[in-house]
Amino acid sequence: MTFSPELEAQFEKFLAKYPADKKRSAVIPMLVYAQDETHAITQEVIEEVAKRCGVTPLQVDEVVGFYSMLHKKPQGTYHVQVCTNISCLIVGGEEIWNQACHKLGIGHKQTTADGRISLEEVECMGACSWAPAVQVNYDFYHFVTPSQLDKLLDGLSAGKKPDEIAGVKRASC
Amino acid sequence: MRYNDPSPLETPVLTRRFRLPNSQSIDTYLASDGYKGFERAIGMTQDEIIGEVKTSILRGRGGAGFPTGMKWGFVPRTSPKPKYIVVNADESEPGTCKDRLLMEFDPHQLIEGVLIAGLAVGAQQGYIYIRGEFRYLIGVMDKAIDEAYAKGYLGDNILGRGVKFNLATHSGAGAYECGEESALLESLEGKRGNPRIRPPFPAVAGAYQCPTILNNVETFCAVPSIILNGGKWFADLGSPKNGGTRLFCLSGHVNKPGVYELPMGFNLMRMINEVGGGIRGGKKLKAVVPGGSSCPILKADECDLAMDYDTVAAAKSMLGSGGVVVLDEDTCMVKFALRIMRFYAHESCGWCIPCREGTTWLKKLLTRFHEGQGQRSDIVMIGDLSKNMLGRTFCPLGDAAAMPTIAIVEKFRDEFEAHLDGKPCPYEHINAFSKSGLAA
Ligand SMILES: Cc1cc2nc3c(=O)[nH]c(=O)nc-3n(C[C@H](O)[C@H](O)[C@H](O)COP(=O)(O)O)c2cc1C
Ligand code: SF4
Ligand code: FES
């Protein structure tokens, strides 16, 4: 399997960060960044990462099972993550989550039939003071209201990119 | 530039550059005393640096509040092994959202704090372990690190002064347990995030089994100001035995939720009413989680207290990670306890049985209870199961799950009773959006 030149360059950067005999340290960062490109951790990805880090495929595979961001099944183009942990829960996070499920007709860790949107109910994402919070891929949305969620999901379903959707602004720079 | 308006009651020390234009850039940083603490530290002995941090009474901002200077003093500086500085930027304790801001709006302050720690123990390599979901922050930190290399503040001969230090970011991949220091180190080494047996502590055997300083982002960010202005200056900002300011993450049912930098020892009721603008919708206060989800909850009548480690500990809770979650009278405490337990059951790494099984069973019990299928004896069982986890788990995650649960059952037993005999949850009809007149 071949990765993009950008990803290969990123891999090189990762490997250079750790002592020469500690390449295993690069396993997790490599998996996360590889997954962004391949959309899922396949057996081939596992083998490529293992080869580059000088470990066995099994040593990589056991890591994949541990971390919630790593997954063997592809997610939607836009992975919508709704926090329902305590700070979000008490100011509407659960309503936002139920609304998202209802609107898309899918549930936790499911993907729409067209493959555009997947949903996940997630734990605290570090936006508690600006709750309720939602992440779409790596972008944060703060103080999310039901009407904003509607716009966001309508826009994504209609094929728009998050930044093209009027009335919904991502928080992070 | 921040995500909430500042409060006039703040004492901006760590956040003082947030309001500057382009606060992320090294030029802004250098124009506002940036790297001056580090330059001063180059001229100090290791004992002097550690001494200054001890004098500051800086206590770890990650949760446990351990004195930072003392921790640095445990590193065997004469060991022939390489030494490491590791930044805990895993920020995942529910209720906590401050490290994100510190990295986003003043990344060089963190780099400078790490550099000073490196001088203090003779380390030449640092890693910033950033939770994977904070991808944009990895970009922010990488950019700042590149700037620091370009201007000679990182590298093999820093500022031509013969100091060597290299720094890199490291991405996590989603696991609360990797915020626990020994699990973080396992994860940094490319393994599953199961914790290590301690002792030895990271100071002696940390990254790659070498002596390691591991601190929270906010802890490192306090260090440049301490070296620049003196440990005593920092200590005097806070309350006795609790130096400095801290970033409190006010969330929940207040009018002005936000992250605010306040002196240690700031009164909790003032925080809610004067900084946070009071409870929204004119509702009454029911309870407060004072320092992230693992801290025992305080009832409204227990909240008139100074927010420092010792006062909150005396009230049988913890200052924790700075996550202050404010709950109004309409909050269902059974549901709140259930959500906390769902979190810990999900995040339990599975390594030891009391935590893995305990959190799973407590989640089941609380779910059943909230659905109105609970029995009176379950109330006792929830408390007993939690108490049996306390102190019997391999790492503190088990305690973190047990402590809030014990407190909620003890302090809000009446709410559990209100769910008995198939009665529907008294709060279930309340919609968080419609109740406080929020935009729908
Ligand atoms: C389950 C668990 C999760 C933790 N998560 C974090 C975290 O996200 N960030 C953090 O700084 N410390 C976290 N800690 C505390 C760390 O183990 C460690 O005490 C801390 O990073 C030390 O830094 P400090 O002395 O500067 O606070 C966690 C501890 C436990 C038991
Ligand atoms: S208490 Fe035990 S099972 Fe729970 S996270 Fe720690 S080591 Fe893992
Ligand atoms: S609880 Fe939702 S972001 Fe922290």
The verdict on B293 and B320 lying in the same domain is yes
DSSP annotation of A93: I
Residue B204 lies in a domain: yes
Give the number of other Cβ atoms within 10 Å of residue B422's Cβ: 9
The verdict on A95 and A137 lying in the same domain is yes
State the pLDDT at residue B237: 98
Mean confidence (pLDDT) of chain B: 96
The verdict on B96 and B210 lying in the same domain is yes
Over range B174-201, report the average pLDDT: 97
Does the model's pTM come out above 0.90?
Answer: yes
State the pLDDT at residue B2: 85
- Residue B356 CA: nearest ligand 2 atom is 3
Nearest-CA distance from B336 to chain A in Å? 7
pLDDT at B281 over 50: yes
Residue type, position A85, single letter: N
pLDDT at B438 over 60: no
| Residue-wise pLDDT tens digits, B314-337 | 999 999 999 999 999 999 999 999
State the pLDDT at residue B393: 97
For residue A95, the chain B residues in CB contact (below 8 A) are 431-433
State the pLDDT at residue A128: 98
Q: Which range of residues forms the domain containing residue B397?
A: 333-435
Confidence of residue B430 (pLDDT cuts 50, 70, 90): confident
The verdict on B276 and B213 lying in the same domain is no
The answer to whether B136 and A172 are in contact (CB under 8 A) is: yes
Q: Given B237, B263, B287, which residue is the final one in a domain?
A: B237
The verdict on A123 and A147 lying in the same domain is yes
State the pLDDT at residue A173: 54
For residue A142, the chain B residues in CB contact (below 8 A) are 3
Kindly state if the Cβ of B352 falls inside 6 Å of ligand 2.
yes
Alpha-carbon radius of gyration of chain A? 18
Q: Which residues sit opposite B214 in a β-bridge?
A: B86
Nearest-CA distance from B326 to chain A in Å? 8
User: The CATH number of the domain where A48 resides is what?
Assistant: 1.10.10.1590
| Residue-wise pLDDT tens digits, A53-73 | 999 999 999 999 999 999 999
| Residue-wise pLDDT tens digits, B73-91 | 999 999 999 999 999 999 9
State the pLDDT at residue A91: 97
The verdict on B363 and B408 lying in the same domain is yes
CA B178 to centroid of ligand 1, rounded, Å:
9
State the pLDDT at residue B434: 66
Over range B263-278, report the average pLDDT: 98
DSSP annotation of B279: B
Ligand 1: residue of B96, B134, B180 to mutate (most ligand atoms within 8 A of CB) is B180
The verdict on B158 and B189 lying in the same domain is yes
Residues with CB under 6 A from ligand 3: A 83, 85-88, 124-128, 131, 133; B 94
pLDDT at B436 over 90: no
**Number of H helices and number of E strands within chain A?**
7, 5
CA-based max dimension of chain B = 75
Instruction: Give per-residue burial for A94-113: e unless 16+ CB within 10 Å, then b.
Output: bbbbebbbeebebeeeebbe
The verdict on B364 and B279 lying in the same domain is no
Residue A173 lies in a domain: no
Residue B169 lies in a domain: yes
Confidence of residue B422 (pLDDT cuts 50, 70, 90): confident
The answer to whether B201 and B47 are in contact (CB under 8 A) is: no
Residue B8 lies in a domain: no
DSSP annotation of B148: H
pLDDT at B202 over 60: yes
Alpha-carbon radius of gyration of chain B? 22
Residue A149 lies in a domain: yes
Task: Report which secondary-structure segment, H or E, holds B377.
Answer: helix B376-389
Residue A143 lies in a domain: yes
| Residue-wise pLDDT tens digits, B248-257 | 999 999 999 9
Q: How many domains does chain A have?
A: 2
The verdict on A92 and A155 lying in the same domain is yes
Give the number of other Cβ atoms within 10 Å of residue B354's Cβ: 19
The verdict on A142 and A120 lying in the same domain is yes
Residue type, position B146, single letter: D
The verdict on B303 and B384 lying in the same domain is no
- Residue B396 CA: nearest ligand 1 atom is 31
pLDDT at B273 over 80: yes
Q: Given B237, B264, B281, which residue is the final one in a domain?
A: B237
Kindly state if the Cβ of B294 falls inside 6 Å of ligand 2.
no
The verdict on A41 and A83 lying in the same domain is no
pLDDT at B419 over 70: yes
The verdict on B45 and B138 lying in the same domain is yes
Give the number of other Cβ atoms within 10 Å of residue B416's Cβ: 22
Kindly state if the Cβ of B393 falls inside 6 Å of ligand 2.
yes
Q: Which range of residues forms the domain containing residue A108?
A: 78-164
User: The CATH number of the domain where B279 resides is what?
Assistant: 3.10.20.600
Which runs of consecutive H residues, i.e. helices, occur in B263-332?
A: 268-270, 309-314
Q: Given B328, B343, B374, which residue is the final one in a domain?
A: B328
Query: ipTM above 0.95?
Result: yes
Over range B136-142, report the average pLDDT: 98
Which runs of consecutive H residues, i.e. helices, occur in A27-80?
A: 27-38, 43-53, 57-64
The verdict on B361 and B391 lying in the same domain is yes
Phi/psi for B324 (5° steps) reads -105, 105
| Residue-wise pLDDT tens digits, A101-145 | 999 999 999 999 999 999 999 999 999 999 999 999 999 999 999
User: Is A25–B168 a contact, with Cβ atoms under 8 angstroms apart?
Assistant: no
The verdict on A58 and A99 lying in the same domain is no
Residue of B92, B130, B133, B283 best to disrupt the A interface, most CBs of A under 10 A = B133
State the pLDDT at residue B435: 58
Residue B14 lies in a domain: no
Residue B162 lies in a domain: yes
The verdict on A143 and A92 lying in the same domain is yes
Q: How many domains does chain B have?
A: 3
The verdict on B55 and B93 lying in the same domain is yes
C-alpha B410/C-alpha B115 separation (Å) is 46
Residue A169 lies in a domain: no
The verdict on B100 and B229 lying in the same domain is yes
User: The CATH number of the domain where B74 resides is what?
Assistant: 3.40.50.11540
CA B343 to centroid of ligand 3, rounded, Å:
11
Kindly state if the Cβ of B62 falls inside 6 Å of ligand 1.
yes
The verdict on A89 and A26 lying in the same domain is no
The verdict on A91 and A133 lying in the same domain is yes
Nearest-CA distance from B127 to chain A in Å? 9
Ligand 2: residue of B347, B352, B359, B392 to mutate (most ligand atoms within 8 A of CB) is B352
Comparison of pLDDT for B429 and B408, the residue scoring more: B408
